[in-house]
Each structure stands twice: as C-alpha cells, then as structure tokens.
Chains A and B, each alone.
Chain A
C-alpha cells in the first residue's frame, strides 16, 4: 500500500515527467487497436455491402440448377409469401465518350421496400434502357443525370440513359467496380436469358416469421428444379447477411497479422524510449530514493513502488491509446463510408493491446528499477548529486556484439553468395533473415561503443559554431549510455524503414530489369485482318501522352510449329536495333527469332505455317533456323525478305509503341486501347504489367513507410523527452551559463544541436544498416524467385525523405526543452539546492 501511495504521490507531483512514456505507449497501443478495428470495420462493411442487394427482403432464395418451371410463380404460391422479386447481378463493360470501365449491374425492382441502395438524386430506372449510377461511376465515366452510356453484359452493346444517382458506401475493401442499377426489364432484354435470375428476394406477409417460411419455400423450389434437394438454398436475409459478413471478415485476419508486425516494431521502439525515460527519471530521483532508504524503506518496498508507478504510467498510456485507436478507426471509417455499418471493436483487439502496453512498460522499466534499488542511503546525505556515471568499459558488450557481428556478417556473406556453399532457394532466405537479425542486434547493441565516437565526429562540424558547438559535444559525451539509447531508438525506426524501402527498390529494379529484358516492346498492336494500320491511327497513337516512339512494320499470324498462333513481324535490323533496348542478334533470310521457351534451342529447325486471319486455315509453310532472343517478345521475327516470301506480300499491319516508364501505365494503356479500339487489334503489350509491378511495390512501400511512421514518431518523442529531462537536470548549469553571459538563443541553439546530432548519427547508421539489410533481404528473395542477381537500388527520394523527417522532427523536438532551459533565471545558479 505504501508503495502504491508513493507511486501515486510521485505521479501527482510531477505528472509531466513520464509524459514520453505515456505518449510512446499511447501511440503503440493506439496503432494496435486501430489495426484490428479498422480492418474489422472495413471488412464488416464490405460483408454488409455484398448483401446490399438483399436490402429489405425477409428471405433469400438462390437456385443452383436451371429451373424447369417458373420459380417465381412457385414461390409466390407459398402461403405467407407476400411478394417475390428476382434479383439479378451481372458484370458489364460500360463506355461513355471513349472512356470505359467495368461495372456491376444490380436489379432494382418496382417495390420500394426492396431497394438495394439509396437514391441521392433523379429517379429509379423503370424501362429497359435506363440505369442509375454511383458517384464512382460519375467520376470514372465523366457522366451525370441524362448522360448516355453503352452497356455490354456479354450480349452486345446496348445504349442506356442515366436517370438517377445512388450513394456509394462499399467500404475500403469493396473493390473498384462501379455500381449501376437497372430495372428487371433491362436484364430480361439486354443481359440475355443465360444470366438468369438465380436469386429471388421474398417478402413475407405481415406477422409471418420469415424462419417459418424456409421449409415451405425449399419444397416449392424443389418442385420446379431438375435435381430436388441440392437445387437451391433458402435462407432468411438475416442469416445470409451474417454468413456474408463472417466470410468477409475471415479475410481480415491476414491483414491484421501484417499490421501487428508494424505495431510490434513501434512497440519495440517505444520500449527503448520507455527504458531510457525511466533510467533518467531514476537518476533524477537518486537523492529522494536514498532518503527513502535512509528513513527505513526496504528495497522490496522501493521496487514495488517503482513497479506500481511503471504499471500506472503504462496503463494511462494504454487507455489513451485505446481512445486514440478508436478515434483513428472512426476517422478512417467516416472517410471510407463504413461508419454507417458500425465500428467493429473486438474485445480481444482492445484488451490485448492494453495488456501489451502495460507489460512492455513494466518490462522496459525493470533495468532502471534494478539500478534504483542499488542506490545506497548515503545518496541522500551527499550535498551535491553524484556526477554522471563513469564510462565503464563493458567487456561483455564488446564480446557479445563482436560475436553477433561476426556471425551475422558470415551469414550475410553466405546469403549474398549462396552458390559458394551450394545453397539455393528458401534456405538462403532463412540464412539472410538470421544474418540480418544478428547484424541488427550487433549494430543496436554496440551503439554505446560507437555512438560517442560518432557524436565527436559530428562535433567536429558543430565546432565551427564556436563555444556553443563545443559545449554541445561535451554535454552529449557526458552520459554516453543515455545518448546511445536515444540514438538506438531513432536508429531502429529509421533502419527498419530504410530496410523496407531499399528492399522494395532493389526488388523492383531487379524484376523490372527482367521484365524489360523479356518484353522489350511496351505495346505491339497487330491488325487481325492483316490490313495496314491507318496512318491517322499511328498519328493519334503517337500523340497519346506517355507514348514516346512508334514503329510500323509488316505483321501476320502464323503457327510456329508448336501449335501456338503467334504474330510474325518483319524487322529491318537497323530500325529494330534503334527501337529495341538491346540490338538484335544477326539474322539472315533463313532465321526466325523466337522468345526463350522450354524445348527450343538456338539452331533448331522451326516450321512456320501461315494462318489465314479470317478463318485460321493453313497456308504456306517454310522452315527456319531458330534464333533465341527476348526481342521476339512472345511473337516471331523474320527479315523483311523472308516475310514477303512466306506471306507472299508485305503489309503495314503491325505497330510497336515505346512508352515512358514514368507515365501512368493504366492511363496510357486505356488511351492506347481507346484509340486503337479493342476489336481490330491483337495486343501483346506488357507495359501495364511491368509498370503495375512497380506501382504495387511503390504503394506497398508508401503504406509501410506510413505505418513505420508511428515508430519514427515514437523515437522522436524519445529525443524530445531525453532533451527535456536533461534540461531539468541541467537547470543550474543552464543558469550558470546564462549568468556567465550565454544568450538565450545560444542556449536554445545548444539543445537544437544536441537534437540534430542525435538525429544525424541515428540517420547515418540507420540508412547505412537499413540499406545493407534491405539489399541482403532482396537478394535472398530474388534467389527464391529464380532471379540470378539482385541489382542494388536505393529509393533516394523516400530514403532521404525519412532522414529529413528525422532531422526536422528532432529540431522540433528541441523547441520546448530549449524554451524551458532559456527561461531558467540566472539567479538559480547561485541558489544552493
């Protein structure tokens, strides 16, 4: 009890001192709570959205096999059924003024109780050529009320008119399809019979329990389908929604685990900050603790008091973290529109993070508490607080970190050159992960050994700023353990972020290099009918934003002896060399260039048979010697002379396009296909696929960087906190310096330099270590993916961005402590404490 009372008194008197711990715990716990809650909420919303077409119905009947009679009539005949409406849902291609996209079209029946969405403006469609669109469709198709669209549900294009607009609300995981609604008449007329209804919505008579209708409806459907018993499912709508939601949220678990990895990194960085903060707090309270011991407090009481304090601080942080997490979830849900279906806060997702937060706080404080209980009662009697602890050369640290570095280095070397020891594939990845872990521990653990040297190195730069710069370096060398611990937290945050960025950049460059090699032509278009590509089409394609070069060349369809229909291009070696990234191999009129493939070797004889573009009938056949090159990019290349001999004529039916790799791939692809039209051309481009890879990787890195931002943020809270606490310790010294003539701004500059030194040291170590580990990981991963060698690539804008954020935020973190130090009145220097 005494211990708890002491802990509470301490927190009441100086509530701001453990603030950094509270903030670090709150951010980590908030992150975890939000990870679980956001994912749950979004998937729940998706589950609900998937059943939106079931809207206000009481029961849902889904038939699995083709009906032999009118299902609807049979269902309506069941006593207690008030109304039955068919519910259709089909995918369709939708076009408007050259823009096109895919959409999901859902029925909206005449009964107002069975509306699958909310109408925002206009009216519901009634005729066969009317639709409503959602906001996403309005944006994607640049249309609006009264707009004309062309819908193609696989049964020919049909014009329709937009008569209304519905709200969105599909949630973050809802997918990118545009949502359209049409009357049953459209489905019956345009979407063709084969789409069928499949699903029927049933309204029960007032007062009739929907569950009581399940069996009668099942019997009714069994009577009209081919295979009674397995033919249809009859569910109450409530059951159907629950099933849909539960299957949607099952998919959430993987994502949650992934987010938890990031949350753990944030919590780990938080643990370092917490340990550091407690170490400082204990150091500041040496006299007080000595006094407690002097008046008879046992070490057990002291330890219990400090543990209680740590647990309380952790609990406060964790509770704030829950509030933060819920707030973030609500904000995200409001933004994605999932708020309407309700926040999902699983109990485990709240209690787990809170426990984790408290536990980590207590664990992280143990070292400091151990040191506190070793304080002798004599401390209370000493007139002046003991100076900073000496630099005990920690032999143990040197030995352990040295061993880790040697082992990690060895494993990394093996992972980078696996063939030397005869390893390949997944084991290499395992070796790389082990090596990276050992190296990380060595770098982080050895920080107290090398950080002082690096600080002095940075000190050589700050020295030019005069006495203030020199005093900064001296100040930081005073408690090397504390400086190192602050650096380690920031180092870890920066390092993990840069590891990820470099890994992704390296992966991206290696894969792209590979794709570039395999598909040297971004788009290759061929007229199916063998007619020439019209010059105005070439002109228009050249004018497309992102298209850099065009090459028109003869093309035709042929079987290259393996049963595959390939496009044969005739190349002029000079023109092709100029167009392709790598020069063509030497060709003569008896050679055919083919892409590398199983069972085909250079020099093989290949029979090429011309196919009629109209009906596929075989024409002339000739035999060529195979030349293997990626330049064929899935087709076949002949010389112009060989092409004319084989096809009996030449033409201008083929077109190669070279696109800017930096352009928006989806947009360029859409523009190219809208100019070329989809029906006349065979398209062998891989441009979108290649740039798609990079974009996916880029997006992943961006998201991960954002998530790791929490860790960076926590470590910067630590930088500010260390400064703030050391300012409290140095009140007398600051006052002395002020008395001796140090200007306020010089005092603030000192703290700014301290913060920047920490940031620079951490950023340099973090970027170097992170860069190496990222490359190591990517190399091992490339081995698994069958790539020969990873090309090191550093994502400079992102990496420098992280370093810049660390520097700027560290500078900001020094503002408040600096202000506090500068307001210390010089008279305080004379006061004997």
Chain B
C-alpha cells in the first residue's frame, strides 16, 4: 500500500467529489534551474471529509494545496473545484471562485490589522457583497467561542483567538472546501489541539470539507484520510491512520526521498 498510488480518477468528477487534481504538475523556474514541485499528482477530495496532506519540507504538499485552492496556476494537468476547471478560468473568475468556494486558514493567521475580529470574519462576504446569515454567524461565533471578542483588533487577541477568527472567516462563506496551511504551526500544543478540534467539528457537525497541509503526524491524525507527499509525488494514501502509522509512513518517505534543499526553498 505504501508504494501504490490509487488508480487515476475518471475525467468528470462524481457528485461526491468537490475538488480533484488530474495529472497535476507544477514547475518553478525553467531550464537547468527548473524545480518540479508537484509531479503528476491525481487525487479526488470528497465532500464532507477531512483530508490531511503530509510530507517533509519540499515535498510539494503546500504547492499541491495552492493549486487545488486556485491560489497558484498549474504547469500541467487539470484542477477541478466545485465543478469548475480552474486552469481554464481567467484571473477575475478565479478570484471569484476563491471568494465564493474556498475558505483559507493560514499558519500566520493573516488577519487584517486594521479591521476588528468581526470585520475580519465578514471580509469575504463583504467582498462578495453578501449579507451574513445571522443564525449561521451566531452558530459559528458560538462554536468558536468568539462572542466576546468581536470588537477587538488582531493585535488585542492571542494567537489561538486569532486563528479562531481566521477559521470563522473561512467557514462563514460556506465554502466548498476549507484549505488550512499548517494551521497549528504557530500555536502551542494545547491551543493547537483546540484548533484541530474546531476544524474536526466543522467537518463532523457542519459537513464542511477540509483539506489541511501539515508536517505534524499528531495533527494529521485527526483527519479522515491522509495523503503523503514526497518529492512532488503522492507516495501514500492512508484511511484514518494512527499517529504511529503516520510516523512510519513519513519516516519511510524521508528515507526514500532525501530532502532537496532547493525544492525546499521554492516549494514552501
């Protein structure tokens, strides 16, 4: 199981598939300095699942996520998100897809320092000119325990609180997929656990689809499915693995694919 990738998915995504990559590759630079960050990856992400992408630094996991989320253009292959082929969209429509179909949670929270917690949460809806559903807003705010923090600016919030605001921002648009990039990377372990629990809850209770990039086996173990990347390729695909299994899988990955320093710089 550790060496085989799954068979290539069918061309048209099935109804339970919200995002998929088909023979996706991404090359940075050209000629002798070209770095193949993602090399022919095909994968389907199913609705209402929590998928973690793991791998050592430079394995291409972040690049894969950027391409799936429409943040970065692909070099080859196709990406489908919420029924649209992203590589066929111009910048304007791609931006709209990100706005309406994608939620982001970043390692460094990435809140706008000039806006309050509430304004930060509502920013994507604001940009779309949509009004928040008050029930949904209350539900999300309560679930994340932010009710008494809405008027604060990011500089007045703790790291965990900031990340919860970011999660709320990602959930409020009811996106097709929430992409989280090392969401616990800048948090202490207790807060990290809390944030992971919130993401897990959003999948279990709200039926949200979450794709999370992480290098922490502990974090990945809350996922339904874990994709392991190595050297730009998908090297493993695990269902509800235990942290021990994950440790073994990534340790094997490291052994087979020595970390490429150059790819490390470019890929993350």
Contact = CB atoms under 8 A, between A and B. Distances in A.
A binds B: yes
A733 B106 contact: no
B19 to A, nearest CB: 16
B92 interface: yes
A830 interface: yes
Nearest to B69: A739
A825 interface: yes
A88 to B, nearest CB: 79
B99 interface: yes
B62 interface: yes
B157 interface: no
Interface in A24-69: none
A387 B113 contact: yes
B114 A829 contact: no
B124 A827 contact: no
6 contacts: A467-B126, A471-B114, A478-B113, A737-B112, A741-B95, A744-B91
B66 to A, nearest CB: 5
Contacts of B99: 740-742
Interface string A740-752: 1111101000000
A474 B114 contact: yes
Contacts of B124: 740-741
Nearest to A746: B127
Contact of B123 (A467, A738, A744): A467
B107 interface: yes
A381 to B, nearest CB: 16
A744 B112 contact: no
A825 B98 CA distance: 13
Interface in A237-290: none
Contact of A825 (B72, B100, B155): B72
Contacts of A471: 112, 114-115
A32 B268 CA distance: 52
B44 interface: no
A777 to B, nearest CB: 41
Nearest to B169: A740
A832 interface: yes
A733 B96 CA distance: 18
B161 to A, nearest CB: 16
Given A739-B104, A741-B99, A826 B71 contact: yes
A477 interface: yes
B98 A832 contact: no
B110 interface: yes
A740 B123 contact: yes
A301 interface: no
B129 A827 contact: no
A438 B112 CA distance: 40
Contacts of A387: 113, 155
A786 interface: no
Contacts of A732: 110
For the side of the interface on B, what is the size category? 20 to 34
A830 B98 contact: no
Given A739-B104, A741-B127, A827 B71 contact: yes
A388 interface: yes
B2 to A, nearest CB: 29
Contact of A832 (B107, B112, B155): B107
Given A743-B92, A829-B71, 17 more contacts: A384-B108, A387-B113, A388-B113, A466-B129, A474-B114, A474-B115, A475-B114, A478-B114, A732-B110, A736-B106, A740-B124, A740-B127, A742-B127, A826-B71, A826-B98, A830-B106, A831-B268
Interface string A468-487: 00110011011000000000
B206 interface: no
Contacts of A738: 95
A830 B213 CA distance: 12
Interface of A: 384, 387-388, 466-467, 470-471, 474-475, 477-478, 732-733, 736-744, 746, 825-827, 829-832
Contacts of B92: 743-744
B248 interface: no
For the complex of A and B, 7 pairs with smallest distance between CB atoms: A741-B99, A467-B126, A474-B114, A826-B71, A736-B110, A827-B72, A740-B124
B38 to A, nearest CB: 13
Interface in B76-113: 91-92, 95-96, 98-100, 104, 106-108, 110, 112-113
A733 B112 contact: yes
A830 B127 contact: no
A827 B66 contact: yes
B110 A741 contact: no
Interface string B215-238: 000000000000000000000000
A466 B98 contact: no
Nearest to B115: A474
A765 B267 CA distance: 51
Given A466-B129, A474-B115, A830-B66, A741 B96 contact: yes
A746 B123 CA distance: 14
B128 interface: yes
A741 B100 contact: yes
Nearest to A743: B95
Given A388-B113, A478-B113, A830-B181, A740 B72 contact: no
A750 B66 CA distance: 26
Interface string B140-182: 0000000000000001000000000000010000000000010
A387 B155 CA distance: 8
Given A474-B115, A826-B71, A827-B71, A742 B95 contact: yes
Nearest to B185: A832
A574 B119 CA distance: 75
A474 B112 CA distance: 10
Contacts of B114: 471, 474-475, 477-478
Contacts of B91: 744
Contacts of A474: 112, 114-115
Nearest to B63: A827
Contacts of B104: 739-740
Given A741-B99, A741-B100, A736 B112 contact: yes
A253 B71 CA distance: 64
Contacts of B169: 740
B108 A832 contact: yes
A738 B127 CA distance: 10
Interface in B174-223: 181
A122 B62 CA distance: 85
Contacts of A831: 268
Nearest to A741: B99
A387 B113 CA distance: 8
Nearest to B127: A741
A36 to B, nearest CB: 48
A830 B64 CA distance: 13
A831 B91 CA distance: 20
Contacts of A739: 71, 98, 104
Contacts of B128: 741
B256 to A, nearest CB: 27
Contacts of A733: 112
A826 B169 CA distance: 17
A740 B108 contact: no
Contacts of B155: 387
A737 B95 CA distance: 10
A575 B27 CA distance: 94
Contacts of B126: 466-467, 470
Contact of A467 (B71, B95, B127, B268): B127
A744 B66 CA distance: 19
Contacts of B72: 825-827
A615 B49 CA distance: 120
